[in-house]
Chain A
Amino acid sequence: MIEEQLGRCVAAWYPGATGVTGAAKLSGGASQETWTFDIVHPGGNAGAILRRAPPGYGASPGRAAGLEAEATLMQLAYDAGLPSPRVMHVLKPEDELGRGFIMQRIEGETIARKILRDEQFAKARPILARQLGKVIAGIHGLPAAKLPKLREISATKEIADLEREYRSFNWPRPVFELALRWLRGRDPGPSKEITLVHGDFRHGNLIIGPDGVRAVLDWELAHLGDPMEDLGWICVNSWRFGEIDKPVGGFGSREELFAGYEEAGRKVDPARVMFWEVMGTLRWGIMCCGMMQRFRQGPDHSMERAMIGRRSSETEIDLLRLLAPKRG
């Protein structure tokens, strides 16, 4: 069914395409789906990814940039020579596939545990932090005039948003209170420079090959703000997957990340990065609590969501390690 629709859609903009094959859903909640498929062509098939909100779903929820904005950002990144899939087609109403876009499929790995442990990534691991620093710098340098309309988020606003969400759960968490207080007391104020911020630059959203980073995915949380936010988020302990002495994704050091960033001609403010790391740790903790709420209130009454709710205590110990480290 979806292969027929995709086949009709692809025929309109991919010269010589005779249909599509191998369509399979990779992931999907109720409002957003990702599909992989191959475009059939006499000169050789081409791998593609559909990212869409199925027909009947309107604007993206809350914080999301929106699928059209995601497509624009990915294409801008691709045009700037950053590791990004090429956007092949933005869906139109006559495609009858809903809203979203089709992009080139890039082969590689997104699962952190494989990237951190498998032999085939042994040569990539030591170079990744520096590479990613360069890539983040490239994202922050994308031309402001070409960006789609995005929300602007300051540290002050982010603290207020997190606090509102935490209070809505009505469940006391003294460590989160301490973190909120710490953040409010150290809010560095508006950033001198406001740039594009990817917003979710971490394992899972990066395609890695044996040669290093191949693509940055999932621009759903892209916004305008303090560029140091992206550098802090990728250092959050939750993305180190056990390799807690390698702050950048469990594979590299802050120094390597910062060196890559500065080689690309941009400046790092380490104190601000640390502030955003604390913010990010709290943010992930609150997101875990949110999963628990959605599990309870349905419609997704899954074990996985329920168990993610029990991971918020991981962020509490990480917040204590940041804010009240024990000597020893």
Chain B
Amino acid sequence: MQDEPTPNELIKAVADFLRNEIAPEIKGHNAFKLRVGINALDLVTRQLALEQGSDAAEAARLKQLLGVDAALIDLNRALCEKIAKGEIDLQTPGLADHLWQTTMDKLAVDQPNYASYKRELGNK
């Protein structure tokens, strides 16, 4: 077992330092790159916090939809194949809900400030 602090706590501490102490000192193109870097660290902390829960829920929905059990990536491959062949479509009960939930969970990590995401959060 690894000791504390957790990766999440470490990355957050670094991101906060860069954001609060370094970013105000940097100008020009490197300021832009630093912002991208801080965004990347923030994304990683969100993923570390949220991924386990959303992956488990996604796998459970896929098992239900497909009637099989496998690793998450293989379940997704199986779903893709069925959509491509037309065996599952938006008329299939549960597909639209599954895609919406999965996509919302991705946006919660990738880009929680994206306007479409914020709109749909309020649209539940």
Residues of A within 8 A of B (CB): 172-175, 177-178, 180-181, 237, 240, 242-244, 303-304, 306-307, 310-311, 313-314, 316-318, 320-321, 323-324, 326, 328
**Is there contact, CB below 8 Å, between B107 and A242?**
no
Min C-beta distance of A168 to chain B, whole Å: 14
- Could you say which residues of chain B place their CB within 8 Å of the CB of A178? 83, 89-90, 99
Min C-beta distance of B11 to chain A, whole Å: 15
- Could you say which residues of chain B place their CB within 8 Å of the CB of A320? 99-100, 103
**Is there contact, CB below 8 Å, between A172 and B77?**
yes
B76 within 8 A of A: yes
Given contacts A172-B76, A303-B40, contact A242 B106 (CB under 8 A): no
Contact with A along B24-65 (1 / 0, CB 8 A): 000000000100110110010000000000000000000000
Given contacts A244-B115, A303-B37, contact A328 B90 (CB under 8 A): no
Q: Write the chain A residue with the least CB distance to B77.
A: A172
**Is there contact, CB below 8 Å, between A177 and B83?**
yes
B53-110 contacts to A (CB < 8 Å):
73, 76-77, 79-80, 83-84, 86, 89-90, 96, 99-100, 102-104, 106-107, 110
Min C-beta distance of B12 to chain A, whole Å: 18
Q: Which of A240, A304, A313 has the most CB of B within 10 A?
A: A313
- Could you say which residues of chain A place their CB within 8 Å of the CB of B119? 244
Q: A197 CA to B62 CA in the complex, in Å? A: 41
Given contacts A178-B99, A181-B84, A313-B107, contact A242 B79 (CB under 8 A): no
Q: A33 CA to B43 CA in the complex, in Å? A: 31
**Is there contact, CB below 8 Å, between A311 and B40?**
no
**B interface size (C-beta, 8 A):** 34
- Could you say which residues of chain B place their CB within 8 Å of the CB of A303? 33, 36-37, 40
**Is there contact, CB below 8 Å, between B99 and A174?**
yes
- Could you say which residues of chain B place their CB within 8 Å of the CB of A304? 33, 36
Q: A28 CA to B120 CA in the complex, in Å? A: 37
**Is there contact, CB below 8 Å, between A172 and B33?**
no
Given contacts A316-B103, A320-B100, A324-B96, 12 further A-B contacts (CB under 8 A): A172-B73, A172-B80, A178-B89, A237-B116, A311-B110, A313-B103, A314-B114, A317-B103, A317-B117, A324-B90, A324-B100, A326-B100
10 contacts across the A-B interface (CB closer than 8 A): A172-B73, A174-B80, A177-B79, A178-B83, A181-B83, A181-B89, A307-B39, A320-B99, A321-B120, A326-B123
Given contacts A174-B83, A303-B33, contact A314 B110 (CB under 8 A): yes
Give the top 10 A-B pairs by smallest Cβ distance, nearest first: A172-B76, A177-B83, A313-B106, A172-B80, A242-B115, A328-B123, A244-B115, A313-B110, A324-B96, A310-B110
Q: A180 CA to B96 CA in the complex, in Å? A: 16
- Could you say which residues of chain B place their CB within 8 Å of the CB of A175? 99, 103
Q: A316 CA to B100 CA in the complex, in Å? A: 9
**Is there contact, CB below 8 Å, between B99 and A173?**
no
Q: A180 CA to B111 CA in the complex, in Å? A: 24
Min C-beta distance of B66 to chain A, whole Å: 11
**Is there contact, CB below 8 Å, between A317 and B84?**
no
Q: A326 CA to B111 CA in the complex, in Å? A: 20
